[in-house]
Amino acid sequence: MKKMRKNRSRIVAFMMTLMVTMVMMPMSSVVWAAQGKAGQVTILYTNDVHTYIDNSKGSGSNAVRYSTVAGYKDELKAAGKNVLLVDAGDNIQGTAYGGMDLGESVIDIMNTAGYTASAIGNHEFDYSMSGFLNARNHAKFSYLSSNLYKVNSKGGKKHLCRTYKVKKIGGVKVAFVGITTPESITKSSPKYFQNKNGKYIYDIAGRKSAKELYAAVQKTVNAANKKADVVIALGHLGVNAGSKPWRSTDVIAHTTGIDAFIDGHSHTTMPGTYYKNKRGKKVLLTQTGYSLNALGEMTVTKKSSGKYSISSKLLTADDLGSVAPNAAVKAKEDALIAKVDSELGEKVGTSKINFVALEKDKQWAVRTRETNLGDFCADAYYWYANEKASLDCDLAIMNGGGIRTDVPAGTDWTYKTCKSINPFGNVLCVAEVSGQDILDALEFGARLTPDASTGGFMHVAGITFKIDTSVPNTVHEENKQWVSGPDAYRVYDVKVYDKKTGKYQPLDTAKTYRVCGTNYTLMNSGDGFNMFSDSKLVLDGVAQDYLALAEYAQNFKDTDGDGYANIASSSSPLASYAGYTINYENESGAGRISAAAGKAQ
């Protein structure tokens, strides 16, 4: 009894000392760990942020940033929530903030924000496979893919990344299963997945057959279900018609065991829609849009029956307006913004024109039709190849998927502006191609117009053409790559500008023309443009694409005497080309491309 009283006295003395110590400590040093509600998990999610860390796509002073996302996560945790943060891909590329160091600084920001996992988007490969592997190794979170492989010399396959990840939180074991779109191969470059002999040393299940994709996903989902209570697909597949049969909706319809699907790729704003799986069970599908226009919040709750309910919603900048940014994340954002803006902030021109890449509903205009910004990009390449590089180019082409932002009227054009338009770091080259290859390239780019968008939609300079949308798409392709011409061409009335006569002449399919474009399209079969694979290279490394844009902008005339070029049609250095079609003031461009049903255009 004496020993018990002695121990009790020691315990009382210890507690008194602890209480005095806590009173004397500053309140900021006292951290109480809130216990989350058992059986409930909150999953915050983003997708297709594309390195827009400065809110240039947001609305108002409270636009969503990574620091806002991390701040909201902090608030939920402080309120006793069990919180996880994940991403559905395309997070290291898109603006100068990602392109300047191949996404490394953005990965640092995501690490600090506390991401758990990320899908692998097609743009994760834009810095080549080695660039992605560097990003993967730099990330403290897990890049996941159930269908991305390294292929050995005997044809054997080994997963390049973890296929799924299980996190136990609040007594709930949540599994995230990664899925990568097979479109990654053509939307980055097939050469990034091949060796020097053109043999695939990296592969994505689904490239040869959609059944491969479904089987790879099902195998991983089955494995995850053995270790988890809830399985969430973390995919980068999208819902656009042009992505069929690799869409998230296709995967849901051909698999079982997925409880919810966080998607990316198509930039769709989808708070939560249900689709039936292979057995008729409803699966929740959600996507936040793009560029942090919204933050997704999914709630997983264990019911009294032992089963789980899942709901989701999207939070806009207004919804998160009162959230205090996470200080550590904000410091990294601000430092990166200041550094890049300083390096690329030099002003090259001004303009009163609204240059368009997006429709009013924020869908990509440049992937379905001609716009004035598409014309501007193609003109810049055409002008640079002819006037700066003296390569006597006949025409220039620019894939719509390579144009990544609007430039509103009144914006000061800087190197950063140009880098934001063309953020991929592609290099211009000039190749000699046949007129037939040009016709086939225009056909391939226009094969889905106007029913679906494609990053391969071609904007042009020095050439005009028409599209008969009543002619069905009969292009022969394999895995989204050109194989051979269509049974009947949709594209017709193709004319090439003659610099000597100032007139547009009909395309001669037997003639050889000099074409300027990015190496992505002309050399690396980007977007599936295989018809150029046997073309003769005149010169590679002509200029980086965004530097050609900046140089073109700088050479517009200073019409108001403010010391800077004024970007307008009449002041363009191409205005001196007699008969050349140019009209930047029209947001739909100069009419180089027209599309309608029938040939009476």
3-state secondary structure 146-195: CCEEEECCCCCEEECCECEEEEEECCEEEEEEEEECCCHHHHCCHHHHEC
Would you say the pTM of this structure is higher than 0.85?
A: no
CA distance 95 to 97: 5
How many CA atoms within 13 Å lie on the side-chain side of 212? 14
Task: Please report, for the chain, the start and end positions of each structural domain, with discontinuous segments joined by +.
Answer: 40-337, 346-596
The gap from C-alpha 166 to its chain's centroid, in whole angstroms, comes to 26
Sign, CA torsion 284/89/162/213: positive
Intervals of the chain under pLDDT 50: 1-35, 56-62
Q: What is the reported pLDDT for 63?
A: 60
Close Cβ partners of 85 (under 8 Å, ≥ 6 residues apart): 43, 44, 45, 69, 70, 73, 113, 114, 115, 116
Q: For every residue of 438-495, which 3-state class applies, written as one string?
A: HHHHHHHHCCCCCCCCCCCCEEEECEEEEEECCCCCCCEEECCEEEECCCCCCEEEEE
Q: What is the reported pLDDT for 186?
A: 85
CA distance 463 to 84: 51
CA distance 383 to 58: 33
Q: Considering the domain 40-337, what is its CATH architecture?
A: 4-Layer Sandwich (3.60)
Q: What is the reported pLDDT for 96?
A: 82
SS3 42: strand
End-to-end CA distance of the chain: 105
Q: What is the reported pLDDT for 38?
A: 83
Q: What is the DSSP string of 265-279?
A: SS--EEEEEEEE-TT
Backbone angles phi, psi at 181, to 5 degrees: -70, 135
Widest pairwise Cα distance in the chain: 113
CA distance 88 to 48: 7
Q: What is the reported pLDDT for 242?
A: 80
Close Cβ partners of 136 (under 8 Å, ≥ 6 residues apart): 143, 161
Residues making up the chain, counted from first to last = 601
In terms of C-beta density within 10 A (0-12 exposed, 13-18 middle, 19 or more buried), how is residue 510 classed?
Answer: exposed
Q: What is the reported pLDDT for 600?
A: 63
Of the options 2.60.120.560, 3.40.50.720, 1.10.3080.10, 3.90.780.10, the CATH number for the domain spanning 346-596: 3.90.780.10
- Under DSSP, the state recorded for 385 is I
Whose CA is closest to 594, among 442, 474, 377?
442
Q: Which residues of 377-392 are buried (b: 16+ CB within 10 A; e: fewer)?
A: bbbbbbbbbbeebebe
In terms of C-beta density within 10 A (0-12 exposed, 13-18 middle, 19 or more buried), how is residue 181 classed?
Answer: buried
CA distance 306 to 493: 65
CA distance 282 to 50: 30
CA distance 312 to 296: 7
Q: What is the reported pLDDT for 493?
A: 97
The gap from C-alpha 1 to its chain's centroid, in whole angstroms, comes to 72
Q: Which residues is 83 bridged to in the sheet?
A: 42
Q: What is the reported pLDDT for 25?
A: 33
Backbone angles phi, psi at 193, to 5 degrees: -105, 0
Backbone angles phi, psi at 394, to 5 degrees: -90, -35
